[in-house]
């Protein structure tokens, strides 16, 4: 009996230590500055430009460059509502989660899906967008008229590294020749434009942005199978993860999470879609 009590007391002590550790997590905005990270190369969510046109903000760690896009627009709304200044840092995709965990930046607003795997490593606020998963091909491709995933059999494809598109979606296409993942979204799109793959898998905003961006170079076609029997298959929980885009921050940072959620919860799906449409409209083309 004493042994059982000892084990129980030990477990309670561990839980108390864990709670205390989370209670000590700083919000990161004590100085009135929200420091966020993004790739600055993932239009229409985010991109780099050479000036502050269309509301772009300086990239603090890339001198002379400015960040813009849907993520920047959302970040500005969050900062305005909370009275914070905004600081944007450029960070590679695979450095975003580690950067949050180590406190290199306060949060990531970079088109991240709210997956269970990521939620084990970071806390999420949001969603701040709901994105359908689609495939993208060229207008002259033999797959341009595909009506389901089954019609993509035999095609070569890729997607961005460490994304649900590559890890969960492409394997569902029977008979597809899945090539190594692209390091970035632009690299993924370039593989399609240059003919190295027949199609790529991405989300709807990225596909819409690519259609606009490359319109003078290559006509692209979005293959949207949502709502049909030929769509990607997920459990209800998986589907929620796949379409929900969130703001990530250090585990236990409840102050920041609640502050961000207080803004995002007041926005509707229509608000998100309208803002994304604005981002797509001003996104740079491949010629710029």
Are the C-beta atoms of 179 and 197 separated by less than 8 Å? yes
What does the pLDDT look like over 107-124, one tens digit per residue? 999 999 898 889 999 999
How far apart (Å, rounded) are the C-alpha atoms in residues 125 and 107?
10
The average confidence (pLDDT) of the chain is 90
How far apart (Å, rounded) are the C-alpha atoms in residues 149 and 247?
30
Tell whether the model's pLDDT for residue 9 goes beyond 80.
no
Domains of the chain (ranges; CATH) run 28-130+244-282 (3.40.190.10), 133-225 (3.40.190.10)
Q: What is the pTM of this model?
A: 0.81
What does the pLDDT look like over 14-54, one tens digit per residue? 444 444 444 568 999 999 999 999 999 999 999 999 999 99
Which contacts qualify for 17-22: CB closer than 8 Å, 24 or more apart? 21/252, 22/251, 22/252, 22/254
Instruction: Give the pLDDT score at 39.
Output: 96
What mean pLDDT comes out for the span 130-146?
Answer: 96
């Amino acid at each position: 009996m004493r042994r059982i009590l000892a084990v129980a007391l030990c477990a309670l002590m561990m839980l108390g230590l864990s709670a205390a550790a989370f209670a000590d997590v700083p919000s990161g905005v004590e100085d009135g500055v929200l420091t966020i990270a993004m790739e600055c190369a993932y239009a229409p969510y985010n991109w780099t430009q050479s000036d502050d046109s269309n509301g772009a903000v300086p990239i603090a760690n890339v001198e002379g460059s400015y960040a813009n896009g849907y993520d920047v627009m959302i970040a500005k709304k969050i900062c305005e509502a909370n009275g914070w200044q905004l600081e944007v840092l450029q960070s590679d995709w695979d450095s975003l989660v580690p950067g949050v965990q180590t406190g290199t930046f306060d949060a990531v607003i970079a088109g991240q899906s709210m997956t269970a795997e990521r939620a084990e490593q970071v806390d999420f606020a949001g969603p701040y967008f709901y994105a359908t998963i689609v495939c993208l091909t060229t207008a002259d491709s033999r797959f341009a008229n595909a009506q389901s995933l089954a019609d993509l059999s035999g095609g070569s494809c890729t997607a961005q590294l460490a994304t649900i598109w590559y890890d969960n979606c492409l394997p569902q296409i029977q008979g597809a020749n899945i090539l190594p993942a692209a390091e970035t979204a632009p690299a993924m799109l370039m593989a399609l434009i240059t003919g190295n793959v027949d199609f790529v898998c991405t989300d709807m905003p990225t596909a819409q942005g690519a259609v606009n961006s490359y319109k003078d170079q290559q006509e692209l076609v979005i293959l949207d199978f949502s709502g049909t029997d030929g769509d990607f298959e997920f459990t209800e929980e998986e589907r929620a993860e796949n379409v929900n885009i969130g703001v990530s921050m250090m585990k236990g940072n409840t102050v920041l999470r609640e502050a961000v959620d207080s803004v995002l919860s007041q926005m509707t799906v229509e608000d998100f879609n309208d803002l994304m449409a604005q981002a797509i409209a001003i996104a740079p083309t491949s010629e710029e």
